[in-house]
Amino acid sequence: MADLSHIELDPASDTPLYKQLADSIRSLVERGSLGAGERLPATRELAGLLGLNRTTISSAYAVLEESGLIKGHVGRGSFITSGVRSAGGAMDWESILPPLAPFIGSPHGISISFANSRPAEDAFPMAQFRRLSKQVVDSPEAPGILQLGSPHGYAPLRRFLLDQAVSQGIARGSDDLMITNGCQQGLDLIARLFVAGKETAALEDPVYHGSLKVFTRAGAQIIPIPVDGAGMNVDALREAVEQHRPRVLVVTPSFQNPTGITLILERRKRIVEIAQRFGVVLIENDIYSDLRYRGKPLPTLKELDDSGQTILLRSYSKISFPGLRVGWLIAPRPVVARLAEVKQISDLHSDQLSQAILLRFAQSGELDRHLERTRRAGLERLNAIIEACEHYLPPGATLTRPEGGMNLWIELPPPLTATRLLASVQERGVDFLPGPYFSSQRAHERGLRISFGGLRPEQIRRGMQILGEVATTELAARAQPVNLEAAAALV
């Protein structure tokens, strides 16, 4: 608590008392006597201390708050915010910055990690990458690639992707395409364009945490729409849209992160209808759809939408090399024009060397060959994880049955919880991300996201064996009957 007892004011002065008080506090801050984060006395208290009217104190605090020197927090009092140095003369950042989010990361000693939704490093087609990237750096285009580029992206890649999307029936003549640093930046740019101010965003529940963070940080009110075995629940969506009129709706129709679930065709159509009817901007996060291991491909929402409500996000990161940050978005031209403005403010443009290399990777046919291999390996991994789940998980556990992608979702039987289980399996070298990490409303305490895309089948089996053993043991321990043989009272 700041000590203000020695402040002296002059009742005879022409300067009002509240202003004298505000000036005194300000000069204490400037002299470094008051530091960032220090709490000021409550108005009643300071009024008593200085023998002043309480409204004088309130007015002085109001003036200081107006100038940004202090900040009031309801129920906690007023604090020095800026214009300050801590006692030692160094800026006291911890006291003025927002708290850090809790760290989510793997501890040391993890040998099998189900925590990362990313491809396996040892499956990267390195020979092809090396050959093609050397072609790019040797090409006469190289100096142009290294020069400052366009916010819309490297023109040859942009043209290639747009032509491809048009020929696939995904983009129309009224659409444009822009390169982004992966889908993550696509989501971020969209949030910055559409939810500035207090807009509402409807997201899946459970939801990809990176999407949740983007819209939360942009200041959006989040409306969670439950995902069930057939994808986003459209009745719940319809109700939520009628009630909350969200500005944007984010849907991952194929192999949703974290559940792995695919949105069925009938629901795809209904979601587009709802978005059209209520004028909701429909954001289709289509990062996994090329990783279908079984079943028939479904049309994107963008293809089903003839009204231009939909912004389609895609990326090379999951299907090739995540370390090269190249994704793209397809949307009606007026939308892309605005998003390009936000992109330019964000980082001028995306890295051009990676764009040029990935273009060559796609044009040479190597991407398709890599995708074929990835799908074959993916099917093996998918079968391995489902078989291992069925074999090792305790009775009462449920799992989704994805047709592709990198993730699968387990629900543990009560009274088990994911966070408790995580602590135990980490001790045995296995890692995953617990349900609450994907929670925008329901806590998903019993949910586990199991990312199998980057692991070999034998790792998947071994990891799931450990997870299943730990879960079974914990379940048994908790199922023990309560000990009714009470100890004798201590006297």
Please list every residue from 24 through 43 that binds a second copy, using CB under 8 A. 29-30, 36
Q: What is the three-class DSSP state of 310?
A: strand
62 touches a second copy (CB under 8 A): no
Nearest distance from residue 251's CB to a second copy, in Å? 17
Nearer to a second copy, 318 or 446 (CB): 318
Please list every residue from 389 through 418 that binds a second copy, using CB under 8 A. none
Structure tokens, 312: 């389609």
- Out of 37, 156, 226, 278, name the contact with a second copy by CB under 8 A: 278
Please list every residue from 175 through 194 that binds a second copy, using CB under 8 A. 180-182, 184-185, 188, 192-193
Binding residues for a second copy, total number by CB under 8 A = 90
354 touches a second copy (CB under 8 A): yes
CB-CB contact of 281 with 309 (8 Å): yes
Please list every residue from 196 through 215 that binds a second copy, using CB under 8 A. 199-200, 210, 213-214
Nearer to a second copy, 1 or 337 (CB): 337
Please list every residue from 323 through 352 that binds a second copy, using CB under 8 A. 323-325, 332, 334-335, 337-338, 341-342, 344-352
284 sits in which H/E element: strand 281-285
DSSP assignment of 147-208: S---TT--HHHHHHHHHHHHHTTSS-TTEEEEEESHHHHHHHHHHHHH-TTT-EEEEEES--
- Out of 91, 166, 222, 265, name the contact with a second copy by CB under 8 A: 91
Instruction: Give CA–CA dist 199/418, Å, rounded.
Output: 32
Nearest distance from residue 485's CB to a second copy, in Å? 52
Respond yes or no on whether the N-terminal peptide bond of residue 206 is cis (omega within 30° of 0): yes
364 touches a second copy (CB under 8 A): no
- Out of 13, 27, 53, 67, name the contact with a second copy by CB under 8 A: 67
Angle subtended by helix axes 457-479 and 366-392, to nearest 10: 30
Nearest distance from residue 77's CB to a second copy, in Å? 19
Which ranges of 80-154 does DSSP label H, i.e. alpha helix?
A: 93-96, 126-138, 142-146
- Out of 74, 87, 100, 491, name the contact with a second copy by CB under 8 A: 100
Instruction: Give CA–CA dist 329/170, Å, rounded.
Output: 11
Instruction: Give CA–CA dist 280/323, Å, rounded.
Output: 33
371 touches a second copy (CB under 8 A): no
Instruction: Give CA–CA dist 29/286, Å, rounded.
Output: 52
Please list every residue from 282 through 311 that binds a second copy, using CB under 8 A. 306-309
Nearest distance from residue 399's CB to a second copy, in Å? 25
- Out of 238, 245, 420, 428, name the contact with a second copy by CB under 8 A: 245
**365: CB partners within 8 A, 6+ apart:** none
Please list every residue from 128 through 157 that binds a second copy, using CB under 8 A. 129-130, 133-134, 137-138, 142-149
CB-CB contact of 433 with 79 (8 Å): no
Please list every residue from 414 through 473 that binds a second copy, using CB under 8 A. none
CB-CB contact of 424 with 474 (8 Å): yes
Query: Count of residues for the chain?
Result: 491
116 touches a second copy (CB under 8 A): yes
Nearest distance from residue 145's CB to a second copy, in Å? 5
CA 458 to chain centre: 30
